Amino acid sequence: MNSRSRRFVVVQTIAAGLAAATLLASGARAEDKIIKIGALLPISGPGSYFGVQDKQGIELAIEQLNKAGVNGYRFEVHYEDSACGPLPATQAAKRLIEQYKPDVVLGEECSDATLAIMPIMEQAKVPLINAGSSAIKITQPGNPWTFRIFPDEVMQGNNIAANAYTKLNARTAVLLHENTNAGIGNANVFNEAFTKLGGRILADIGFGRDVNDFTAIATRIKGLGQVDVIPTYTLEGQGLKITQALMQAGVTKGGDGHAIQIGTIWLPFGFEQKAGKAALGYVRAVQFDPLDQRPLVRDFVAAFKAKYNQAPTHLNAHAFDQIMLIADTVRRGATNAQSIRDALAKTRNLAAVTGTISFDAHNQNTSMDTIHYMETLPDLTWKALGWN
């Protein structure tokens, strides 16, 4: 082989190699079509049980979706600890946007943190899906990039007040809430709605997250005369102590008192077992009914038990729904942040594990079937009250 022929062979080999590399690269790109999901969750601090349980729901959904992919896309999640507070959430959101560059973001659970990250997501033009913050400001006025899949504080508060008045025949109430945007907001809505119906608020008691002993508060409530209901807006740890203190003071049914505590979706499943006898008669609005017989829910419960060897909570369920909602937008052709946002805005009557998802003009889910009322029985199991 002369030198010219040798050069020709070398050039041919290089060309063939480049062609093969190009083919491989294009093949790899086809397989690597990824929807990048950022998750801003409280993984440390008093609200960290949210993050731990959300992660379980997210991982299950991702595992199921990535078996076959959706429209050729797979899903990837990157977690940041937003710690249930505005400052850490802001820092985590900026880190997420700058470093991970997500197509869509989930979070936060705590309203103050969600309100803090909303402008960052809007500026970055990345849709934010929220499943657990109730402050009205998140969607009223909200912004075009933030979507909430469960009822806001007004929808919840009006509903809880109406059910307390009509179903429980409550005429007097004491409001207990942590002094946060969500705590104060929820209590105010209940106050307004309950008063309009003819009920009377005997006391509106707010407290910081650093309060540990609720005996003094229970004593004060005991001295207020007959209290029919005690709507309580707090995280699990303080919620437990409040319920126990109210029982010890003889205010609630568990302590042979008259009052019924009404709780919110802030409390995870398993609360009754931790609170014990004190939880007797406790009525809770939960975001997910594990007794729901829809095949979608039964499949979710079975898959969750198979993966984690435990029953799912509402936090697991709403995190699962967030991912499935994103998958639904991809199924409808969304491929990036802008198209995911546009598809989210058009979501109507999507059947999810927690209930139905239909967004209004403010990106607020308008369905009330994500709120389920449960009453704690003497054996600490639940009875679904079927009020919605």
Partner 1 sequence: MEGARLELMTVVLQQGINGVVLGSLYVLVALGLTLVYGVLVQINFAHADVVTLGAFSAYFFIHGLGGGYLPSIAVALLVGSALGWLMNAAIFAPLRHRGNELLPLIATIGVSVMLENAMLAWFGPIPYAFESPYSNDVIRFGGVFLTLQNALIIATSIVTIALLYAFMKFTFLGKALRAVSQDRETAGLMGINPDRIVMLTFVIASALAGMAGALLGPVLVLTPFAGTSVIVKAFAIVIIGGFGNVEGTILAGLLVGLIESFTTQYLEPGMIDIVVFALLLLTLALRPTGLIAERREENV
Interface residue with partner 1 among 36, 55, 148, 241 (CB under 8 A) is 241
Q: Which residue has tokens 């659970």?
A: 109
Stretch that binds partner 1, among 27-35, 37-45, 57-65, 134-142 (CB under 8 A): 37-45
CB of 149 to partner 1, least distance (A): 23
312 counts as binding partner 1 under rule CB under 8 A = no
52 vs 385, which CB is nearer to partner 1?
Answer: 52
Nearest to 148 by CA among 102, 101, 115, 190: 115
Q: Which stretch binds partner 1 (CB under 8 A): 25-33, 39-47, 159-167, 341-349?
A: 39-47
DSSP state letters, 320-353:
HHHHHHHHHHHHTT--SHHHHHHHHHT--SEE-S
**Distance of closest approach, residue 215 Cβ to partner 1, in angstroms:** 5
Under the binding rule (CB under 8 A), the answer on residue 233 touching partner 1 is no
What does the buried/exposed string (b/e) look like for 163-177 if buried means 16 or more CB atoms within 10 Å of the residue's CB?
Answer: bbbeebebebbbbbb
- When the beta carbons of 98 and 213 are compared against partner 1, the nearer one is 213
Coil, strand, or helix at residue 181?
Answer: helix
Q: Does 110 bind partner 1 (CB under 8 A)?
A: no
Q: Report the distance separating Cα 374 and Cα 286, nearest Å.
A: 7
CB nearer to partner 1: pick between 44 and 123: 44
Which string of DSSP letters, residue by residue, matches 43-105? -SSTTHHHHHHHHHHHHHHHHHHHTT-BTTBEEEEEEEE-TTSHHHHHHHHHHIIIII--SEE
Q: With contacts defined by CB under 8 A, how many residues of the chain interact with partner 1?
A: 42
CB-nearer residue toward partner 1: 120 or 246: 246
d(CA 240, CA 385): 22
Which range of residues in 114-122, 135-143, 245-253, 323-331 is near partner 1 by CB under 8 A?
Answer: 245-253
Cα dihedral sign for 347, 94, 56, 37?
positive
Enumerate residues 6+ apart whose C-beta is below 8 A from 358: 347, 348, 349, 350, 365, 366, 367
Nearer to partner 1, 57 or 355 (CB): 57
Is 388 exposed, middle or buried, given 0-12, 13-18 or 19+ CB atoms closer than 10 A? middle
Q: Which of residues 43-82 bind partner 1 (CB under 8 A)?
A: 43-46, 48-49, 51-52
By the rule CB under 8 A, 144 interacts with partner 1: no
Site map 248..287 versus partner 1, x via CB under 8 A: xxx----x------------x----xxxxxx---------
311 is a site residue for partner 1 (CB under 8 A) = no
Q: How does DSSP classify residue 235?
A: -
Q: With CA atoms as reference, report the closest residue to 105 among 46, 66, 147, 164.
A: 147
Positions in 164-223 near partner 1 (CB under 8 A): 179, 205-208, 210-213, 215-217, 219-220, 222-223
CB of 207 to partner 1, least distance (A): 4
Binding site for partner 1 (CB under 8 A): 43-46, 48-49, 51-52, 179, 205-208, 210-213, 215-217, 219-220, 222-223, 236-238, 240-241, 244, 247-250, 255, 268, 273-278
